[in-house]
Structure 1
Amino acid sequence: MIEIASKHAAGADYRLVPDARKAIELFMARLADVALPEISRILLYGSRARGDNQVDSDIDIALVLAGSDPGDGTQFNLLMSLANISSRVMLEMDRPMNVAAIIVWENEFLEPDKQHNPHFYRNVLADGIEIQSSGVA
């Protein structure tokens, strides 16, 4: 079971359509099987967070991990695991929905202007809606 913040960062009421909620729930359930560093928070961002999505829009999720990228290939391996999970979720859905998950390290959010794409980090912070899950610590 997942909980998604009831209010968007800008204050508007926010609701997910049942198919999108189911895709997120399946994704989160499988995420529990991946050996992840400590998760600081999980954010829904992009068009589904803003409420301006189309029927076939991706479900953009940022996994914010504690600390910083160790630079040892961890991030690449995690991204491959997330892509695998997303593919499995898409196959399990009655109507395929793509969960596009990324890894973001906590320290990258602390200094978005020092990152390769500061605009992206500022958008995730502005649009992001916190996702809580009983299955992922």
Structure 2
Amino acid sequence: MASQLEAIIRISESLAKMTLSPVATVDHVEEAIRLFRASTMDAVQSGQVEGVTRSELTAEMRKIEQEIRRRLPIGSQVSVRALKSDFTSQGYTAHAIDRALYIMVRQEVLQFKSQRMLLQRIGA
């Protein structure tokens, strides 16, 4: 949410500069919101987020989940930083790693410990 607000602010400021206005007006903000919504909807409808299609992201997340299940026996713990670093070095995107972890926590397969510094496998 905060990054969306920041994007709208940056767009508003850019629109103000384009009209040589020293401050962003309500009109600039309304146009920034319109542009932001239009570009967001285009990305959602095309299934493209951050240069990766939805099917590619889903496939990548599935591979990450399978690898975590293979590596971590139930009851074992691993550092979140080490796990993310390892997957990143294997070429997985940070977005896919975070989404896979989020899903596995919601499914009660994994659980965050020690202020989200550790992950423990708690289920199948």
Q: Which structure is richer in relative contact order (CA contacts within 8 A, separation 6 or more)? A: 1
**Structure 1 or 2: larger strand share?**
1
- Please, what TM-score do these two structures have when normalized by structure 2? 0.28
- Please, what TM-score do these two structures have when normalized by structure 1? 0.26
